[in-house]
Amino acid sequence: MRLTSRNACQTADQLDSLHDLRKEFRLADGMIYLDGNSLGAQPHAAMRKAQHVIENEWGNDLIKSWNTAGWFDLPSRLGNQLAPLIGADPNEVVVTDTTSINLFKAIAAALDIQARDPATAHKKTIITESSNFPTDIYMAEGITRWLDRGYHIQLIESPEDLATSINDDTALVMLTHVNYRSGYLHDMQYVTAQAHQHGAMCIWDLAHSAGAVPVELNKANADFAVGCCYKYLNGGPGAPAFIWVPHRHQAQFAHPLTGWWGHAAPFAMQTHFEATPGIRRALCGTQPIVSLAMIESGLDLFARTNMQTIRDKSLALTDLFIQRVEHVCASHQLELVTPRSHQHRGSHVSFKHEHAYAIIQALIARQVIGDYREPGIMRFGFTPLYTSFTDVWDAVEHLSDILDKQLYDKNIQRNVVT
């Protein structure tokens, strides 16, 4: 259905099967929040949960809560709740640490598996994209420098270069499923198969995918995956991240952060490290329980819908946004950097403009929240659980008003976080 008026958007919102879920989030009146791809909105339940954890579990029950409130099991319990959203099986996911740290574990474990197998021990190249989120590249750089075994990182410039770049020397293909800047969505199954054909392993960063697009890790036969809980999963600022290790790799998953939470018997207090047999070997040390506990409130909301419904609405929202911007802002120099094709589009849309930072700040001043990414990119995230069609319509009206009347300050000072 093509939405050509604000009234039509309001009608679409009434008919939207996700409409009721918006009420579950704390969103200020008048705010149009298009940044759920950076920091998801707060579920009302998170406030109640925080109160409970701090008041009762920590305040009253103190140390007993490791057992009585299930604190020790929380990384695996949340992992099992998250698993269906990413096509993982039970006991394949833990919620823990940060995405960067989980990447470190996954890269280290993958290189270790490759190095121990005589058929793959010669492989020295890690392929990723130059447009990947910087932390992914930095973590690979850190490991390769530290290992000092001749690994080399090959940065490819476009997804089309993957086919010609993966070869017999490729140890690892490490990609972000939905690019943080352009919103380009990789075909996980196809790329993983290409990597496997050459004996390489494939690690996926699902930071912009989990809760945003359907993900089928096991179906794609992926090797490892990591991702954020503070974006589309609405787990709160700095919420612990997740790591997926499929059953078929768990026995060989040996990362170097061998802390006691990954030990087979943590309270036996043994002198030597012995990895626990299952997914909990991906853990390292004590987890930030208050932050971890918040994640459940976000995940609970996904149980009221399914990823296909979310995907259908996400595409309708991003289609509407692209159509409206290109229609009402046609006289301005905006360049769409997000793929038009549904097959390769995630759940955010980015436009390039010479004054992108200033324009984003002008939008934020009107309570239309997006963000800025280098170079010259305005990025807008669409979160089907709470973004409405009317939000999209109104956001574009604000954008065109700001552009038409040049209501932005070209010399505005940059904030640290853009």
Ligand X SMILES: Nc1c(O)cccc1C(=O)C[C@H](N)C(=O)O
Ligand Y SMILES: Cc1ncc(COP(=O)(O)O)c(C=O)c1O
Binding residues: 99-100, 133-136, 176, 205, 208, 230, 260, 286
**Nearest to ligand X of 100, 258 (CB atom):** 100
- Judged by beta carbon, residue 208 or residue 280, the one nearer ligand Y is 208
Q: Which is nearer to ligand Y, 201 or 206 (CB)?
A: 206
Residue 417 binds: one of ligand Y, ligand X, none (C-beta under 5 to 8 A by kind): ligand X
Q: CB under 5 to 8 A by kind: which of ligand X, ligand Y, none does 234 bind?
A: none
Residue 409: Cβ-neighbour burial (10 angstroms; 0-12, 13-18, 19+): middle
Preceding amide of 90 cis, omega within 30: no
Would you say 63 or 416 has its CB closer to ligand Y?
416
d(C-alpha 359, C-alpha 80), whole Å: 41
Answer positive or negative: Cα dihedral of 36, 180, 244, 246: positive
Which window, 49-57, 96-104, 214-222, 352-360, contacts ligand Y (CB under 6 A)? Answer: 96-104
Q: Closest CB to ligand Y among 18 and 228?
A: 228
Side-chain-side CA neighbours of residue 341 (13 Å): 6
Q: Is 379 a catalytic residue?
A: yes
Among 10, 11, 91, 100, binds ligand Y (CB under 6 A): 100
CB nearer to ligand Y: pick between 180 and 380: 180
Site string for ligand Y, 229-268 (x = CB under 6 A): ------------x---------------------------
Q: Give min distance, CB of 62 to ligand Y, in A.
A: 29
Is residue 180 at the binding interface for ligand X, with CB under 6 A as the rule? yes
Minimum distance of ligand X from residue 43's CB (angstroms): 18
Closest to 170 (Cα-Cα) out of 213, 199, 206, 211: 199
Distance from C-alpha of 317 to C-alpha of 270, rounded to nearest angstrom: 54
Retrieve residue 299's tokens.
């995940």
Bridge-based pairing of strands 93-96 and 241-244 is antiparallel
- Asked whether position 380 contacts ligand X by CB under 6 A, the answer is no
For the beta carbon of residue 114, count every other beta carbon within 10 angstroms.
21
Per the annotation, the verdict on 205 as an active-site residue is: yes
User: Is residue 38 a contact partner of residue 231, using CB atoms and an 8 Å limit?
Assistant: yes
Determine whether 48 is an active site residue.
no
- Compute the least distance from the CB of residue 217 to ligand Y, in Å: 16
> Please, what is the minimum distance in Å from the beta carbon of residue 357 to ligand X?
14
The separation between CA 68 and the C-alpha centre of its own chain, rounded to angstroms, equals 31
**In angstroms, what is the minimal distance from the CB of 229 to ligand Y?**
9
Nearest residue (beta carbon) to ligand X: 180
Q: Which residues of 60-85 are buried (b: 16+ CB within 10 A; e: fewer)?
A: eeeeebbeebebbebbbbbbbbbbbb
| Interaction pattern, residues 118-147, with ligand Y; x per rule: CB under 6 A | ---------------x-xx-----------
Contact 306, 22 (CB under 8 A): no
How far apart are alpha carbons 294 and 251 in whole angstroms? 30
Q: Decide which of ligand X, ligand Y, none touches 176; Cβ closer than 5 to 8 Å per partner kind.
A: ligand Y
- Ranges within 191-220 binding ligand Y (CB under 6 A): 205, 207-208
**Residue 220 binding target from ligand X, ligand Y, none, CB below 5 to 8 Å by type:** none
The one catalytic residue among 49, 123, 181, 231? 231
Distance CA 129, CA 379 (A): 19
Q: Of 307, 343, 304, 321, which Cα lies nearest the Cα of 388?
A: 321
Output 72 or 133, the one with its CB closest to ligand X: 133
3-state secondary structure of 403: helix
Phi-psi region of 269 (alpha: psi -120 to 50; beta: other; left: phi over 0): left
Exactly one of 25, 38, 114, 140 binds ligand X (CB under 6 A); that residue is 38
Supply the residues annotated as catalytic.
133, 205, 230-231, 379
Q: Which residues bind ligand Y (CB under 6 A)?
A: 98-100, 133, 135-136, 176, 180, 205, 207-208, 228, 241
Q: Which residues bind ligand X (CB under 6 A)?
A: 38, 133, 180, 207, 373, 417
